[in-house]
Amino acid sequence: MSDNRIEGYARALFEIARAEGSLDEVEDELFRLARTLESNDALRNALTDEKIPVARRQGIVEDLLGGKVTGTSVQLVSMVVGSGRGRDLPAIIDKLVKRASSAKQLEVAQVRSAVALTADQQTRLAAALANATGKEVNLKVVVDPSVIGGIVATVGDTVIDGSIRTRLDNVKSRL
């Protein structure tokens, strides 16, 4: 899918979420959904397999997200999957999050942690990242067991890696 089309879908989702007055919740929920899709092959295949009827794929979305996220998020994801763009959903969502952050004059800070962060930790981490990068950040936390321990934070092109995974990889490469 071309960047223009992804950008177009992201803009549409952004405008709908903003019109619904649930932009913050929607972008947060969709961001977590995007990361889940990236790490879950079965789910990604189910939403992108053209042999499965569109209605069935939309049903999977509603079963998966219904009651756990806002109705707007469910409808937006269902709309994208229904239009046959399920494969590009993570890219569309990333554009949406970036656009939402830009609207708030924030930089997206994607944080991968082996365990969930408390609200206090997220606040302090956002402040620390803002201090380190000189930009106000929109923190997006992803629980990623492959990190093993510690945190990997990505702000724009800057990656701050304090993960056990990377340290172990360094040790292995030295071995």
Partner 1 sequence: MSEVEEVMQTHSWIWPEPYEIIFGTMASGLIFGLLIKFVVPLAKKALTARTVSIQAELDSGANDLASAEQEAQDIRQAIGDIASERARILAETNVQAEALLRDGRARLAQELVEIQERGQSEIVSIGLRVSDELRAEISRLSGAAIDQVVRTSLTDATQQELIENFISKVGASR
Write the CB contacts of 95 (distance below 8 Å, at least 6 apart in sequence): 6, 7, 9, 10
- In whole angstroms, how close is the CB of 89 to partner 1 at the nearest point? 30
Contacts of the segment 129-136: beta carbons below 8 A, 24+ positions apart = 129/153, 129/155, 129/160, 132/160, 133/107, 133/158, 135/106, 135/107, 136/105, 136/106, 136/107
127 belongs to the binding site for partner 1 (CB under 8 A)? yes
| Contact pick of 65, 129, 137, 142 for partner 1 (by CB under 8 A) | 129
| Contact pick of 19, 103, 148, 159 for partner 1 (by CB under 8 A) | 148
Q: In this structure, what are the phi and psi dihedrals at residue 22, rounded to the nearest 5 degrees?
A: -130, 40
- In whole angstroms, how close is the CB of 69 to partner 1 at the nearest point? 26
Pick the closer one to partner 1 by CB: 29 or 144: 144
- In whole angstroms, how close is the CB of 116 to partner 1 at the nearest point? 10
Q: Which range touches partner 1 (CB under 8 A), out of 21-29, 62-70, 93-101, 125-133?
A: 125-133
| Contact pick of 66, 124, 146, 156 for partner 1 (by CB under 8 A) | 124
8 belongs to the binding site for partner 1 (CB under 8 A)? no
> Tokens 């923190």 identify what position?
139
Q: In what order do the strands lie in the sheet with 137-143?
A: 137-143, 107-113, 150-155, 158-163
- In whole angstroms, how close is the CB of 121 to partner 1 at the nearest point? 6
Please provide the distance, in angstroms rounded to a whole number, between the alpha carbons at the two ends of the chain.
Answer: 42
Considering only residues 100 to 119 of the shown chain, the ones binding partner 1 according to CB under 8 A are 113-115, 117
- In whole angstroms, how close is the CB of 151 to partner 1 at the nearest point? 5
Rounded to an integer, what distance in angstroms lies between the CA atom of residue 99 and that of residue 84?
22
Amino acid at 171: V
Which residues of this protein are in contact with partner 1, per CB under 8 A?
A: 113-115, 117, 121, 124-125, 127-129, 131-132, 134, 148-151, 153, 160, 162, 164, 168, 171-172, 175
